Structure 1
Amino acid sequence: MNAEPHDAPIAPDEPTTTADVPPKRRGWFGRRSGWVKALIMLGVLVVLVSSGVAGGAYLLVSRYENKVDRAALLPSAPAEEAARSKQNWESGALNLLLLGSDSRATEPGGTSPIGERSDTIMLVHIARDRDKATIISIPRDSYVEVPAGGSWKGGKNKINAAFAFGGAALTATTVQKLTGIPLDGAMIANFASIRDLVDAVGGVEVCVPYDVKSTFSDREWKQGCHAMDGAIAEEFMRQRYNVPGGDFGRIRNQQLVVQAVISKVARNNLLYKPLELDTLLGIAADSLTVDQSLDLRDLVFAVRDIRPRNITYATVPYTSAGLKTPAGSAVKLDDQAAAEMFAAVRDDTIDRWLAENPPREPGS
C-alpha cells in the first residue's frame, strides 16, 4: 500500500530542490505548493460572475458567505491607508494576498505553531479597468527580510517562516515590505479542496509537457494527456523530485491541474447545472478563510467582467534555488527583475511587463 502523498512541514534546514533548475532569471512561471486551492476559489468565482449568470451572483454570495470563515488576516492599517484601500475598491487597481496551507489546525489569523508554514504566498492584482487579473506567486523559500512579529525578533529568513512565527498578519507585513505593494484584502484556502473539486467535476484530463515519475507510487505520467481523478491529481501535483525544474516543476504541474478543472467546468456548462454548481461552490467556500474586512460582494463586483482567459499567472523572478543561509537552502530572488515586477504591479502595468519579460517553462 503506497503512502498518501503529503509533504511534511518545512524544517529550517530542508534543502530546496535544484535539479534541472536553470541558474539565472528562471522560473517566474507557475505557483508554489498549495496555491491551487486559492486559485480554484478565485477561478470559480471569476467563471461564475462572467458566464452570463452575474445577475444571481449576489444571491449566490449570500448563500455561501456563511460557509466562509472570517479572521483578522491583515495588520491594522493607518487611517490614510484604509481610505486609499476604500478608494481602490471603488475605482482603482486592487491587490489581494492569497495564502494556502495544508494545516487544518492552524488559526489563520493568529500565531501559528512553529513549523506550520504557508505553502502558498500569492498576490492577486486586479486591473483598474476590471478586465484582467494577474496572479503572482512568491516562492515560499525566498530569503527575505521578515519583520519582527509574534515570537520572531526580525531579520532574514525564508518568507514562509513569517506564517509560522506571526500568522497571516506577519506574512502580509512581510509581503508589503518586500514588494512595496499595499494590500486591499487577504484570503487563506486549504489545499484539501483541490482533490474534492477534481472529483466534483468528474475528473479531469491533464496534458503534461514532460515526463513525471511519482515518488509516492509506481505511477508515471509520460508526456501527453492523462485522465485523473482527485486522488491521482493530488499525487501528480505533489511531485517535487522526478519532474523537470524540481520544486518549480511542481508549480507548473499544479497550474496544469487547475487549468484542467476550470476548462472542465466551462466545457460541461456546470455553472448552469444547479446541483453541480452547489457542490463546487460549497467545496470552495468550505476551504476559504477571508479577512474580516473583505466584502465578498465587492469582490464579485470587482471580477465580474474578467474572463478566465484574461487571468495571467506569474512567479517572482529568482536567480538561484540553492542559496545557503542560516535558515537552510533558500531561493535568492532576482532583486532587479523583482523590483521591476513589483513596480509594474503598483503602476497597474504588470501585463505589459510580463509581455516584455516572457516566462520560461521549468527545466528549459
Structure 2
Amino acid sequence: MDSGTDVVSDAPAEGSEVEPAPRTGWFGAMPGWKKALVVLTALVLVMVTGIAGAGWFLYHRYDAKVERAALMPSRPAEAVARSEENWQSGPLNLLLLGSDSRAEENGGTSPIGERSDTIILLHINKERNHATFISIPRDSYVYVPPGGGWKGGKNKINSAYAFGGAPLTVETVTALTGVPLDGAVIADFASIREMVDAVDGVNVCVESKVTSLHTGRVWQPGCHDMDGGTALDFVRQRYGVEGGDFGRMKNQQLVVQATIAKVESSGALKNPLELDTLLGIAADSLTVDEDLNLRDLAFAVRDIRATDIDYRTVPARTASLKTSAGTAVELDPELSKAMFAAAAGGTMEEWLYEYPQTGRP
C-alpha cells in the first residue's frame, strides 16, 4: 500500500412488516443524531449533505452556517402536500447537486454553483433504514424544459444548471425520471479536501488505473492512502479514467465509502472537537432549499448505517451518442425507466435485488 501523496509509477422487500434485526456494536448503540452524522458526512462527500442535530443547540449552531436559496421550482399545492406526507411517512427523493467551484484555481472568487459536476437522485425508503444514491451522468442526452435563455428541447442534462440553476435542474430530473422531488441540496465539491483531512486521510481501493491531468499523479489498481488534496484530485478526474464520466462517478463513490469507514473506525464521533469540526465543514459547504428542514433530514437518516447505503448509476446504452450538443450519453430506455419507477413507487430495494449489478458505473 503506497502513500496517496506520492505519484505511483506507471507500471427484505420494502414495506414488509418484519421487525428489523437488533443493531449491535458501538455504532448501533450510538445516539440517533450521531448515526445521522455518519450518513450525512457521506452525503457531503458526494457533494450533498444535511447536518445532524442533538436537540435545539446543535440544530441552531450548525443550521446557521448553512446557506439557504430557492433551489426548488414553484409547485402546485397538491405536490407540496404530497411531499409533506412523504416527509412524515413515505419514501423520500432528494436532488443532490455537486458544485465544483474550484475557487482555489481562481483566486478564491468562484461562487458555489459555477459548475455542477455531479447530479444524484437520493432515495430514502419509507422505513428510513436504507438509502440509494443514483448518479445521473452529467452528459445524459435528455429533454431540458424551457428556462433562462433556453427554449426547451434535447440537450445534455448538466446544461439545465447553466441555463436555469437548480430549479431548472429539478424540473429536468423530474421530467426524465417521473420522480416527484422532495427537496434539493448543493454542496461545494472542494469540501472533500477538508473532510478527508479532518479524519486524517482515507484508504481508497482503486479498481482501475487513474491518471490526473492536473497533477500528474497516477493511481494503479490497488489500495492507496489519500490526504484531502489527493482525494480531491482523484475524484475530479474524468479524462484519465477508464469509463470517463462513469469512471469518475465510481471513484467518487469509492472515496465516500472509504470516508464512511474511516469515520466509523476512527472514533471521530466520540470526540467532541473532531465532531464539531466535521459538522462545521459539512454545514459550511452547503446550500439547501429555503424550505428544507434539516432536522427532518437528519431524523430521516438517523438509523441508516454504512452497510445500508447502495450506490448505482443510471443504466446507459452508450456514452458516444452523436448529438447537436456534442458527444453525449444515451440512457438505456428500459432499464432506466424501471429504475426510476422503483424510486417513484418506493420499491427501490426490490429493484436492487432483481438487478444487483445493473447501473453500476
Q: Which residue is equivalent to 1:272? A: 270
The answer on 1:220 being equivalent to 2:218 is yes
Q: Percent identity?
A: 60
Does structure 1 conserve the Cα–Cα contact (< 8 Å) formed by 2:201 and 2:227?
A: yes
Q: Which residue is equivalent to 1:175? A: 173
Q: Which residue is equivalent to 2:16? A: none
Deviation readout 1:230-285 (Å, 9 max, x if unpaired) = 11111222222333222211222111111111111110110110111111111111
Q: Which residue is equivalent to 1:235? A: 233
Selected match of 2:46 from 39, 52, 61? 39
5 Å matches for 1:249-264?
249-264=247-262
Does structure 2 conserve the Cα–Cα contact (< 8 Å) formed by 1:41 and 1:285?
A: no
Deviation readout 1:315-339 (Å, 9 max, x if unpaired) = 1111000111111111001111111
Deviation readout 1:61-90 (Å, 9 max, x if unpaired) = 221000000000001111111111111111
Deviation readout 1:196-232 (Å, 9 max, x if unpaired) = 1111111111112233333333432222211111111
- Once the 2 structures are TM-superposed, how far is the Cα of residue 349 of structure 1 from its aligned partner? 1.0
Selected match of 2:333 from 304, 325, 335? 335
Deviation readout 1:90-130 (Å, 9 max, x if unpaired) = 1111111111111364575xxxxxxx441111111110111
Amino acid at match of 1:260: A
Does structure 2 conserve the Cα–Cα contact (< 8 Å) formed by 1:38 and 1:100?
A: no
- When residues 314 and 197 of structure 1 are mapped into structure 2, their CA distance, relative to the original with a 3 A threshold, is same
Does structure 1 conserve the Cα–Cα contact (< 8 Å) formed by 2:196 and 2:202?
A: yes
Q: Which residue is equivalent to 1:199? A: 197
5 Å matches for 1:1-364?
37=44, 39=46, 42=49, 56=54, 58-103=56-101, 105-106=110-111, 116-359=114-357
Does structure 2 conserve the Cα–Cα contact (< 8 Å) formed by 1:58 and 1:297?
A: no
Amino acid at match of 2:77: A
Q: Which residue is equivalent to 1:22? A: none
**SS across alignment from 1:119:** strand
- Once the 2 structures are TM-superposed, how far is the Cα of residue 360 of structure 1 from its aligned partner? 6.3
Deviation readout 1:302-325 (Å, 9 max, x if unpaired) = 111111210111111110001111
- When residues 171 and 218 of structure 1 are mapped into structure 2, their CA distance, relative to the original with a 3 A threshold, is closer
Amino acid at match of 1:67: K
| Structure 1 spans left out of the alignment, 5+ residues | 1-34, 49-53, 109-115
Does structure 2 conserve the Cα–Cα contact (< 8 Å) formed by 1:36 and 1:191?
A: no
Query: Matches of 2:154 and 2:208 in 1, distance apart?
Result: 36
Amino acid at match of 2:59: V
Query: Matches of 1:41 and 1:332 in 2, distance apart?
Result: 25
How high is the TM-score relative to the length of structure 1? 0.81
More relative contact order, 1 or 2 (CA 8 Å, 6+ apart): 1
Query: Matches of 1:57 and 1:210 in 2, distance apart?
Result: 44
**SS across alignment from 2:146:** coil
**SS across alignment from 2:277:** helix
- When residues 319 and 185 of structure 1 are mapped into structure 2, their CA distance, relative to the original with a 3 A threshold, is same
Amino acid at match of 1:192: A
Query: Matches of 2:296 and 2:129 in 1, distance apart?
Result: 15
Does structure 2 conserve the Cα–Cα contact (< 8 Å) formed by 1:245 and 1:362?
A: no
**SS across alignment from 1:289:** strand
Q: Find runs of 4+ consecutive structure 1 residues off by over 6 angstroms.
A: 360-363
